Amino acid sequence: MSNKAISYAGPGKVEVVDTEYPEFVLKDGPGVHPANVGRKVDHGVILKTVATNICGSDQHMVRGRTTAPEGLVLGHEITGEVVEVGRDVEFVKVGDLVSVPFNISCGRCRNCIERQTGICLNVNPDRPGSAYGYVDMGGWVGGQAEYVLVPYADWNVLKFPDKDQAMEKILDLAMLSDIFPTGFHGAVGAGVTIGSTVYVAGAGPVGIAAATSAQLLGASVVIVGDLNEDRLAQARAFGCETVDVSKGDPKDQIEQILGTPEVDCGIDAVGFEARGHGKEAATEAPATVLNSLMDITRAGGSLGIPGLYVTGDPGAADKAAQEGSLSMRFGLGFAKSHVFVTGQCPVMKYNRGLMHAILNDKVTIAKNVNATPIALEDAPQGYAEFDSGVAKKFVLDPHGMVRA
- Give the separation between CA 215 and CA 200, rounded to whole angstroms: 12
Give the number of residues written for the chain. Answer: 404
Burial class (CB in 10 A: 0-12, 13-18, 19+), 211: buried
When pLDDT is averaged across residues 10-18 and rounded to a whole number, the result is 95
Confidence grade of residue 258 (pLDDT, cut at 50, 70, 90)? very high
CATH topology of domain 4-178+346-396: Quinone Oxidoreductase; Chain A, domain 1 (3.90.180)
pLDDT above 80 for 284: no
Torsion sign over Cα 115, 118, 124, 130: positive
Q: How far apart are CA 376 and CA 53, in angstroms?
A: 10
Write down the pTM of the prediction.
0.96
Quick: pLDDT tens for 92-103: 999 999 999 999
> How far is the first Cα of the chain from the last one, in angstroms, to the nearest whole number?
24
Q: Which fold has domain 179-341?
A: Rossmann fold (3.40.50)
Lowest mean pLDDT among 34-43, 132-141, 225-234, 324-333: 324-333
| pLDDT > 90: percent of the chain | 86
41's CB contacts (< 8 A; 6+ apart) are 24, 25, 26, 86, 149, 151
Tell me what pLDDT residue 314 has.
77
Quickly state the pLDDT bin for 199 (edges 50, 70, 90).
Answer: very high
Domain ranges of the chain: 4-178+346-396, 179-341
pLDDT band at 267 (very low <50, low <70, confident <90, very high): very high
Residues 105-112, mean pLDDT to the nearest whole number: 98
